Amino acid sequence: MHVTILGSGTAYPLRDRSAPGLAVRIGTALLLLDMGPGSLRQMVRAGLSHTCIDHVFLTHLHPDHTAGLIHFLFATRDPEVLARRSPLTVTGPPGLRLFLERLQAAFDPWLNLPPRLLAVGEWDPAAEPWRDYGAFRAGTRPMRHGRPSQAYRLESPRGASLVYSGDTEANPDIEELARGADVLILECSLPDNAPRPGHLTPSEAGRIAARAGVGRLVLVHFYPACLRTDITAQCRRTYSGELTLGSDLLEIRLA
Rounded Cα distance, 98 and 61, in Å: 11
Least Cα distance to 153 among 137, 169, 170, 173 occurs for 137
CA angle 149-154-160, nearest 5°?
150
Query: Which pLDDT belongs to residue 133?
Result: 96
Provide Rg for the chain, Cα atoms.
17
Query: Which pLDDT belongs to residue 169?
Result: 97
Query: Which pLDDT belongs to residue 146?
Result: 85
Query: Which pLDDT belongs to residue 255?
Result: 74
Query: Which pLDDT belongs to residue 139?
Result: 98
The enclosing H or E element of 185 equals: strand 183-187
> pTM score, two decimals?
0.97
For the chain, 255 residues long, the average pLDDT of each consecutive 10-residue run is 98 97 97 98 98 98 98 96 95 97 97 96 96 97 94 97 98 98 98 97 98 98 98 98 98 92
